[in-house]
Structure 1
Amino acid sequence: MVTHNHEVPIRLFQDRPEIAADLLARAVGTTIPLYTSAVSESEALTNCDPLELNCDNVAVFRNAFGKPVCAVITEIQRSEDKDKSYTWPMYLTNLRARLKCQAQLLVICTDEPTAKWARQLIKIGPPEFVLRPNVIGPGDLVRLIGGCDTREAVELLILVAATKEEGAGTESIARDLGRRLNELSEPDRKKYTGWAFQLLSTAACEILENEMSLRYEEYLETYAGQLELKGEARGEARGEVRGKAKAVLEMFELRGIEVSDVARERILACTDPEQADRWFTSAFSASTAEEIFD
C-alpha cells in the first residue's frame, strides 16, 4: 500500500536528483563521474514484455554533451524483502545496458534492522560477481545533518521523518525543520512544508506551524495541495475520498475541535470526492464539526 512515508522520500529524489549523488558520496563514500546535469527519468526498468520491473526512482547524470555518465537507482526500503536479492541486480544490469554507463544502487532504509539486512552481499553466481548495495539507515541520515547547508538539512530531516511510523516521535524533527525552513525561498518553503505535514504527527505539525509562524492562508494552500498529490499517488477513487475524509478529521484534531461519534461516522462514510473537498475546506474555519454539513 502506498504511504506518505514511502512516497514523500521518492518525491524528494524526483524533485532534486542530485540528492542521490550527495548521499552516496557523504554517507557511503562512493563517488560518481563529473556531470553537468541530473534528471529524474522513468523508473520502469522492464527489459521484456512478460516481466515488469519498476524501482522507486532513477536519476541520470549527464556530462556537458548530454551523454549519461552515471545512473543512480534509489529504493526506499521499509522491511526485508527476499525478492530484492533478485530484482536489484536486474535493475542495475537493465539500466546499465539501456544507458551504456555505470549504474549505482542506493537503498534508503527506514530502520536499522532493515539496513543491516540490505547491506548483505548479493552473490550473483560467477566468482567475485557480487552486488554490495549502498545502504543508508536512519542513523546515517541523522549524522549527516550537521554538516549540511539549509536545503540539504531540510531534505535529510524529511527523510528522517519518513522513517517514523505514523508520525511518532517527530516533535524534535519539527522544531529543527521549522527553524531551517524559515531560511528557504518562498517556493521551496511551501514545497518542503507540504511534504513535512504529510509525515509529522499532529503534535509535531503544531510545533512546525509555531516555529514557522505560518499564515493561515499559506497553511491551507500547502496542506490541501499535497493532499491532492496523495490521492493521485494512490490512483484509486475510493482511496482518495477516504484519505480526504481522514484529512478532515486530522484538521479538526489539529485545531483542537472535538468531533462526535456521529459526525466522525458521517465523514468517514463519504463517497463523493467533491463533497469531501468541500468539507475539507470548511474544516479550516468551522467552529464545530457539525458546521461543515450545513
Structure 2
Amino acid sequence: MVSSSHEAMHRIFQEDPRIFTRTFKRLGIPFPDTVAVSFPPTDLTEIKPLERRVDTLLQFDTADGGSYLLAVESQGKKDPDKHGSWAYYTSYLYAKYNLPTLLLVVCQDESTSRWAETPFHIGVPYWHSLTVRPLVLGPHNVPLITDPEAAAEDIPLAAFAAITHGKHRQPDIMLKALATALETADDDMADLFRELTELGLGSIGPAARIWKDLMAIPTHFFRSETSQRLRDEGREKGLEEGREEGREEGRAEGRAQQSVKNILLVLRTRDIAITEAERERLVECTDENLLDLWFSRAITADRGEEIFLPPAEAVGHVEADT
C-alpha cells in the first residue's frame, strides 16, 4: 500500500518539476536550463500480468534544444528487488522514447539514500553489460532550510527539504521556517504545500506533531522580523494582484479551477479512472469546500466512484471495508 509520505515525496516534482534542476545545481551538477516540462504516461507495463509503474515521469525540454526523461521513485527502505525494477524502468523508457533517461530516487532515511546511490551492475564481475547509477536526494545531501526568507524564495524546495528531513532530531526550526514562508504565498500554493508537507511527514513522530501544532496556531507567535516583512510584502502583492484580477467572484473561480486541476492530477498519477459524468461534475463544481473534500478522497480512494459519494455513504463504505 502506498503511504502518504511516499505520495508526497514524488508529487512535489509534479507540482514544480523545475525543483529537480534547481536542487542539483546547488549540489554542483549543472543541468541545462529547462524551457518546458511535460508528463508522459507513467505506466511502464509491457506484457501482462507483469506490471511496472514508475512513481512520476517527467520530460524536460532544455534551452539548448535537447530533451531528457526523469523517472522519480520514492524509496522508504532498502529493497534489493528494486535494482531490477530500476534497470527495467531506465532501459524501457530509453527504448520507448529514444531520449536520455535519468532515474531520481528520493528518500527520507539516510541509510536508504546511501544504499540507493551506490551504482549497481548487471553482468558478471569481469564484464558489466549494464550499470545503473541513480541520482539520489535524501537527508545526506538535501540542505536543511531553517531561514524563513530562504524558505519563501523557494517554497517547493523548502517543503521537499522538510519532508526529506522529517526524521531529524530537531525539526522544529525547519518547520517553523516553512510555516512562516507559507504565510507569504498565495492561498492556492499555501494550501497545497501545507497538505503535501502533512502527508509527507506522516501521522506519527515529532515532526508530524510539530507540523500539526504549527498549522493549528497563529504563526505570529514565532514569526521573525524578516519573515513578518515577507508576509506583509506578500499581502501587498496579493492586494495588487486582486485589483488586477477583478472581482472576488473571479478569484474564487480561479481557485476552483486550480482545485479541479489538482484533483485530476492526483487521479492521473494514481491511475484512477472516472466516468465522463463524474468528470463533468468535477469540472463544473465551484464549491471550494466540496472540492477540498474530493481532493482528500482522491489521495486515498481505490475507485473513482468513492470520491463523489455523499458523506454518509462514504463513512459507511469505509466501515464496511474495514
Q: CA deviation at 1:35?
A: 3.7
In the alignment, which of 284, 291, 302 is matched to residue 236 of structure 1? Answer: 302
Q: CA RMSD in A?
A: 3.8
Alignment of 1:226-265 (within 5 A): 228-236=294-302
d(CA) in 1 for partners of 2:312, 2:75 = 32
Question: Per-residue CA shift, 1:180-220, capped at 9, x if unaligned?
Answer: 1122223212221222343362443222442179xxxxxxx
Letter in 2 for 1:2: V
Partner SS for 2:218: helix
Kept in 1, the 8 Å contact 2:69–2:101? The answer is: yes
Kept in 1, the 8 Å contact 2:34–2:63? The answer is: yes
d(CA) in 1 for partners of 2:316, 2:169 = 30
TM-score by length of 2: 0.61
d(CA) in 2 for partners of 1:206, 1:78 = 25
Gaps of at least 5 residues in structure 2 are 202-206, 222-286
Change in CA separation of 1:229 and 1:63 when aligned onto 2, cut-off 3 Å: same
Question: Per-residue CA shift, 1:222-241, capped at 9, x if unaligned?
Answer: 9986664343233237xx89
Partner SS for 2:102: strand
Alignment of 1:12-27 (within 5 A): 12-27=12-27
Kept in 2, the 8 Å contact 1:4–1:162? The answer is: no
Question: Per-residue CA shift, 1:107-126, capped at 9, x if unaligned?
Answer: 11111111111122210224
In the alignment, which of 141, 161, 168 is matched to residue 163 of structure 2? Answer: 161
Partner SS for 1:138: coil
Range moving further from structure 2, 169-178 or 138-147: 138-147
Kept in 2, the 8 Å contact 1:109–1:138? The answer is: yes
d(CA) in 2 for partners of 1:144, 1:129 = 37
Question: Per-residue CA shift, 1:143-184, capped at 9, x if unaligned?
Answer: 47779562524433344335536x996433331112111222
Partner SS for 1:92: helix
Letter in 2 for 1:57: T
Alignment of 1:1-294 (within 5 A): 1-27=1-27, 29-63=28-62, 69-125=67-123, 126-127=127-128, 129-143=130-144, 150-161=152-163, 164=166, 170-198=171-199, 199=201, 201-208=208-215, 209-211=217-219, 228-236=294-302, 272-273=313-314
Q: CA deviation at 1:46?
A: 2.4
Range moving further from structure 2, 3-12 or 136-145: 136-145
d(CA) in 1 for partners of 2:132, 2:101 = 12
d(CA) in 2 for partners of 1:145, 1:169 = 11
How many residue pairs get matched? 238
TM-score by length of 1: 0.66
Q: CA deviation at 1:96?
A: 1.4
Gaps of at least 5 residues in structure 1 are 214-220, 242-269, 278-294
Change in CA separation of 1:170 and 1:25 when aligned onto 2, cut-off 3 Å: same
Letter in 1 for 2:23: L
Change in CA separation of 1:145 and 1:118 when aligned onto 2, cut-off 3 Å: farther
d(CA) in 1 for partners of 2:150, 2:187 = 20
Q: CA deviation at 1:274?
A: 5.6
d(CA) in 2 for partners of 1:69, 1:11 = 21
